Structure 1
Amino acid sequence: MNRIKRRQNNNIVHQNKKQITNINRKKSNFENLANEIIYEIFEYIDTYDVYYIFFNLNKRFENLFLNSNLPLQINISTISKSKFEDYHQNIIIPNRHRIDILRLSNPFTVDIIFSPPRIILKFIQLKTLVLDNIDAKYLKNILNHSIHLTKLHSLTIHLIDFIKNSTDFYLQIFRLPKLKYCKIKLSTMDDLTLSTNIFSSIEHLVINTCFPYESFHNLLSYLPQLRYLSIDVIYDCYHKPIDFSPIVLKSLKYISLKLSSMNFNQFEQIVKNFFHYIEVLHITSSNDSEFLNAKRWEKLILSSMSNLRIFDINHSGLVGNNSSIYHDVINEFNSSFWILKQWFFKHQHSWEKGSDSGIFYSTNPYRRKDYRLYCQINKETCLNIQENNLNLVKHLLIGGKQIINNSINYFINVNELTIKDDFKISHHSISTILNQIISLKQLIKLNITHSNFSIEQLMKLLHFTPNLHTIKYFSIFFNGIDLTSIKKIDLSTKNQVKKLEIYHEGCTIEEFQIILNIFPQLEYFKIGMSQNEIEQFIPFLASKTYFKTHSLFFLCISQLRKRFIPELNRLIKSKNLHDDYLIKIVYCDLYLWW
């Protein structure tokens, strides 16, 4: 018997030695690769991952990383404070001159990397700069120094605080001498004023915020080389007639506008004054039924947009007071003019608003990344509902009562889902309903605006969404739920959710702990709290007992009352939170990073 055991043990030792030999041989083979080949391999890996995997492996790989002249692409999104400090000290500071792409998605990292702001002058190779979710504290000085960056051609800015003077902000950007691409998201309420002798080199401009209709002429006056313009919301706040003077923009070929509180007359004036050379038009409108006047569109296109190749409309609103009038109106888009142009259209009806209201949109192919699915069908009047090509759709918004019965389209490339408040959950499983429309395994983002979407339903859905990364919850998370009953629910669901935002005030310490149990991989958490809840929560943060065993390292407490902020600052100071956290109050939000 001992002989048999000895023989088995010898076999195990022999197998282990063989495995170690194979591992060492593979390691040796990789280390024997030429530097040029290793550099090519590094190009397929994120810079931080290269640093994390190889930098401390041995001296050769450390030297390969530090002594190279190859450009570096730095992407800092969700990363803990300690890891960032190490990365900043060992990689970013000594290699500023090599960085050609820099993406910062954290309100603290901009303060650290660009402190003082003139440090940006050391990034002599910088071509692309992305400042995402930042405050404007140092931005003015950063942009002033950026004028001297001769290679900077792409700029993306997403501000989390309020800008009082948008004109100064825009002019700083327009003065950047080599800028070709610019994407902006900010909160402001003032108009863009006109300043002479400033002309931007920007060719591609995306404004993902509300922009005043009254300032449209002034905006275009700064952009003589503009080719592509997209504005998320353009609105009319004064409702006064405006006589725009024409601007000839021969390079402007692509326009995408979402109109708010604007009628067709106002839009028509924009077209006649600025859009004579455009080839692609994406227009999103609502309410004014003149946007469904096919003959008026035909006249406007022939007279003012004769080069138009792609006409993409999405209009929602009411026409008349019955479904026959609505269908008579949209059927005018089946005339020979539209057929010869190969421009085709579909429509849906909102269940709550009835069949005299609907969403009318271009299709074949459907050219947008977002798609709203209501599926209210009148079989007598709503013909040819089946879509031919929905491959471009990445974000699906669903609502209505008849999704499971009437959805005849399948969205093969959707990775973001929004469940709207009018989505009626039947006796069928939520996963059964959704799997008939999309592949749940592909989802990485989930937005819930449904006021009665329970935690139990969310837990069930998490079982079928293994790649879900981000959840945004626009209602009360613990709506009418007894916390003692929640603790009986199986919270062991394996999920990869790293970012959670709950847009509703109210979260006790007990609820906070339950959320961390549901999402063990959570790194970023945004939640609203009342003054009393925050006063109880600060001592809990000071203890740091719970965070030692959890992945969370970034917390945003939103919707602070302005009058409470001085008291909050005193409370933070009294508990010495600055010893363990970086803390920032931006507008009405408290940010903590550790």
Structure 2
Amino acid sequence: MINSIENFSNEIFYEIFDYLDGCDIYKAFSNLNYHFSQLLNSSLLLYKIKFDFESDDLFMNNYQHMKSINPHQIFSLNLSSELYIDKFLSSFNIDSSLDHLQSIYLENIQPNTLLILLKNCIHLPYQCQIYLLIFTLPTLKYCKITSHGFKSSATLPFATDNQQLSMIEHLIIDHSVTFSELAAILSYTPKVYHLKFWHEDIKYPIIQMISSTELSKLTHISMNISYLEFDEFEIFLSKLASTLKSFNLVYTEKELEYLDFDIWEELILQNFPQLEKFYFDFNAYISDEDEFIFDGCICDQFISSFWINRQWFVEIVIEPDIISLTIKPYRKKWYEFINIDNDLNVNHLTLLTIRDIPMDKYIETYDKIEWLIDVATIYHLEICDDVFIGTIINIMNILSSLDSLKLSSIKLPNTTLLSMEELDEINHAVDNNKITKVYLDKMIRFDDVLFLIDLFPKVKYLQIGCTSDIDINLFLQIILMKIQNKVNSNLHLLAISIPTADDYMIERIQNMIDFKRLLFNYTIKRTNDTIFLRMKSF
């Protein structure tokens, strides 16, 4: 029996240390005893060093601990504090003694500083290209290069037969490249299996410069593409390996051939039989002058055995000046965690999210929603803004097939000031909506919930987000009395999310319900900060 942490095996410590910063490890364990001294200096322990500080004292303290670490044991360096990158590099030599160094992360480093650093890494004469310097690092497996506006005017030459090639396996080119530049980069990296890049070239893309051989080992590819016609994109896809397992495409334009889902189905079946994950973002920037931009596109093509069997589904997002259609692997949504009944197979239905829309821009948003109902049947809606209830009703009238609705918060009208026409609109919404699941993320007043119960008479699942200072017993008493007074209430499950939820709160609620005889056949349980009250009958 182990009765002291010191008696843990070295393997357990190595496993624990893998989650910790190297300087923190050294600071905590270096002066304990001989056993830990031996452990920290073992060649089996490799340190991950991270410098992310905003004060000189913290920087110097960790730097002193780092200087005590054997350089042969440093596995990675993360210098994410731009204030101290130059100071660190002027004091610490990154050279051949770091023979286990496999990862360097530098944030906001200046190009000249990076060139000096890389020259020290490889001990080679000065070269003009950052990529050429990186490719000569002998043990580098992972490389991410991010550039905001900086672009070398020099062209990277293609690798020659007698040139040293890179050992990089995971390459992220987080800046725009042409296909000719990408082809040159790939000529140095024959072992890359995970590739991410941005393509942006209004001129002829010259896809033919990339050979299938350079892409033959890819199992994961992620692309951000603009200004590329779909037939050119198809040529690029034909060069990818049939062993591809993960595909991620972000497209920012309006060419609708990218939204022909039957073509996508054919391409995947023919070229990528081993594909497991498929991500596709179609981002269409729109202006007030744009008319219907999705002519001929039918998202309901996704409700077919090909997409369902692979668990890839479509979601749509409306934001200011942009509509995004996204295909991605299935993940459970809030309305799926609790199984109320089997009336609707929610796994296969489309979610629309509306966010960051100013209150005075919702009239234009109605037009965009009108576009979408010709493209897809929307069954789930999430509105991430604080909106007036009239806005919600207008959207509900457009999306007549809605089954679930999630709201950030609502603004209720003063019913005494409503006109007869406005009251008729509310009554029409009450009579005609089919919504069975409602989630109010932030309740401002008790009246918010009472209004929603009246507005959605078919609701079976209601979830409410509350603040910790709410009188939860009073709140539940009011809701349950409201439900009892309704004829033929359909509400079966009430979920209350509250930060202070605990078992004692559950006990108090249960005592209150039983004492006041509000329910007779129910169950209550808690999952994290959410209390679920299932009502079987009244």
TM range (shorter): 0.5 to 0.7
For residues 194 and 437 of structure 1, do their structure 2 counterparts lie closer, same or farther at Cα, with a shift above 3 Å needed? farther
SS of alignment partner, residue 160 of structure 2: coil
Residue 278 of structure 2 corresponds to 311
Matched, 1:235 2:200: yes
Residue 360 of structure 1 corresponds to 325
Residue 211 of structure 2 corresponds to 246
Deviations 1:405-429 (CA, angstroms, capped at 9, x unpaired): 5895779xxxxxxxxxxxx99758x
Q: After alignment, is 303-312 or 199-208 more displaced?
A: 303-312
How far apart are the structure 1 equivalents of 2:106 and 2:178? 24
Residue 475 of structure 2 corresponds to none
1:125 to 83, 97, 100: 100
Residue 174 of structure 1 corresponds to 135
For residues 338 and 52 of structure 1, do their structure 2 counterparts lie closer, same or farther at Cα, with a shift above 3 Å needed? same
Deviations 1:242-290 (CA, angstroms, capped at 9, x unpaired): 6435332332121111112333233223223345543322111132222
Matched, 1:186 2:127: no
Contact 2:29 2:37 (C-alpha < 8 Å) held by counterparts:
no
1:268 to 229, 234, 241: 234
Residue 297 of structure 2 corresponds to 329
- Structure 2 letter corresponding to 1:330: I
Residue 216 of structure 1 corresponds to 182
Alignment of 1:559-570 (within 5 A): none
For residues 33 and 339 of structure 1, do their structure 2 counterparts lie closer, same or farther at Cα, with a shift above 3 Å needed? closer
Q: After alignment, is 399-408 or 89-98 more displaced?
A: 399-408
Deviations 1:358-388 (CA, angstroms, capped at 9, x unpaired): 4222145159xxx99426655965524339x
- Structure 1 letter corresponding to 2:77: L
Deviation at 1:229, TM superposition (A): 0.9
Q: CA RMSD in A?
A: 4.8
Deviations 1:512-535 (CA, angstroms, capped at 9, x unpaired): xxxxxxxxxxxxxxxxxxxxxxxx
Residue 385 of structure 1 corresponds to 379
Alignment of 1:152-171 (within 5 A): 168-171=129-132
SS of alignment partner, residue 264 of structure 2: helix
Deviation at 1:42, TM superposition (A): 7.2
SS of alignment partner, residue 224 of structure 1: coil
How far apart are the structure 2 equivalents of 1:41 and 1:342? 35
Residue 532 of structure 1 corresponds to none
Contact 1:176 1:200 (C-alpha < 8 Å) held by counterparts:
yes
Unpaired runs of at least 5, structure 1: 1-28, 150-164, 388-395, 412-423, 429-434, 440-462, 465-594
For residues 38 and 258 of structure 1, do their structure 2 counterparts lie closer, same or farther at Cα, with a shift above 3 Å needed? closer
Matched, 1:293 2:260: yes
TM-score (ref. length: structure 1): 0.49
Residue 494 of structure 2 corresponds to none
Contact 1:333 1:345 (C-alpha < 8 Å) held by counterparts:
no
Alignment of 1:441-460 (within 5 A): none
Residue 196 of structure 1 corresponds to 160
Contact 2:261 2:302 (C-alpha < 8 Å) held by counterparts:
no
Contact 2:74 2:98 (C-alpha < 8 Å) held by counterparts:
yes
- Structure 1 letter corresponding to 2:354: Y
Matched, 1:89 2:64: yes
Select the structure of larger CA radius of gyration: 2
For residues 402 and 346 of structure 1, do their structure 2 counterparts lie closer, same or farther at Cα, with a shift above 3 Å needed? farther
How far apart are the structure 1 equivalents of 2:352 and 2:109? 31
- Structure 1 letter corresponding to 2:146: K
- Structure 1 letter corresponding to 2:23: Y
Contact 1:118 1:141 (C-alpha < 8 Å) held by counterparts:
no
Residue 23 of structure 2 corresponds to 48
How far apart are the structure 1 equivalents of 2:272 and 2:85? 43
- Structure 1 letter corresponding to 2:160: T
Deviations 1:90-112 (CA, angstroms, capped at 9, x unpaired): 44255333323322222354444
- Structure 2 letter corresponding to 1:74: I
TM-score (ref. length: structure 2): 0.54
Matched, 1:142 2:110: no
- Structure 2 letter corresponding to 1:234: H
- Structure 2 letter corresponding to 1:360: L
Q: After alignment, is 42-51 or 357-366 more displaced?
A: 42-51
Quick one: percent identity of the two aligned structures? 23
SS of alignment partner, residue 95 of structure 2: helix
Contact 1:311 1:343 (C-alpha < 8 Å) held by counterparts:
no
Contact 1:185 1:209 (C-alpha < 8 Å) held by counterparts:
yes
Deviations 1:285-308 (CA, angstroms, capped at 9, x unpaired): 132222112344345445544554
For residues 100 and 336 of structure 1, do their structure 2 counterparts lie closer, same or farther at Cα, with a shift above 3 Å needed? closer
Alignment of 1:398-417 (within 5 A): 405=392, 408=404
Deviations 1:203-260 (CA, angstroms, capped at 9, x unpaired): 21112222234423223222222211112x3211435666435332332121111112
Contact 1:48 1:74 (C-alpha < 8 Å) held by counterparts:
yes
Deviation at 1:116, TM superposition (A): 6.9
SS of alignment partner, residue 215 of structure 1: helix
How far apart are the structure 1 equivalents of 2:5 and 2:233? 63
Deviations 1:418-457 (CA, angstroms, capped at 9, x unpaired): xxxxxx99758xxxxxx94599xxxxxxxxxxxxxxxxxx
1:255 to 198, 211, 221: 221
Q: After alignment, is 173-182 or 402-411 more displaced?
A: 402-411
Unpaired runs of at least 5, structure 2: 333-350, 356-364, 396-401, 413-438, 444-466, 469-538
Q: After alignment, is 178-187 or 236-245 more displaced?
A: 236-245
For residues 313 and 32 of structure 1, do their structure 2 counterparts lie closer, same or farther at Cα, with a shift above 3 Å needed? closer
How far apart are the structure 2 equivalents of 1:345 and 1:79? 43
Residue 314 of structure 2 corresponds to 346
- Structure 2 letter corresponding to 1:196: T
Residue 460 of structure 1 corresponds to none
For residues 340 and 45 of structure 1, do their structure 2 counterparts lie closer, same or farther at Cα, with a shift above 3 Å needed? closer
How far apart are the structure 2 equivalents of 1:362 and 1:122? 47
How far apart are the structure 2 equivalents of 1:438 and 1:363? 28
For residues 122 and 409 of structure 1, do their structure 2 counterparts lie closer, same or farther at Cα, with a shift above 3 Å needed? farther
How far apart are the structure 1 equivalents of 2:68 and 2:6? 30
Deviation at 1:40, TM superposition (A): 6.5
- Structure 1 letter corresponding to 2:301: F
How far apart are the structure 2 equivalents of 1:37 and 1:241? 52
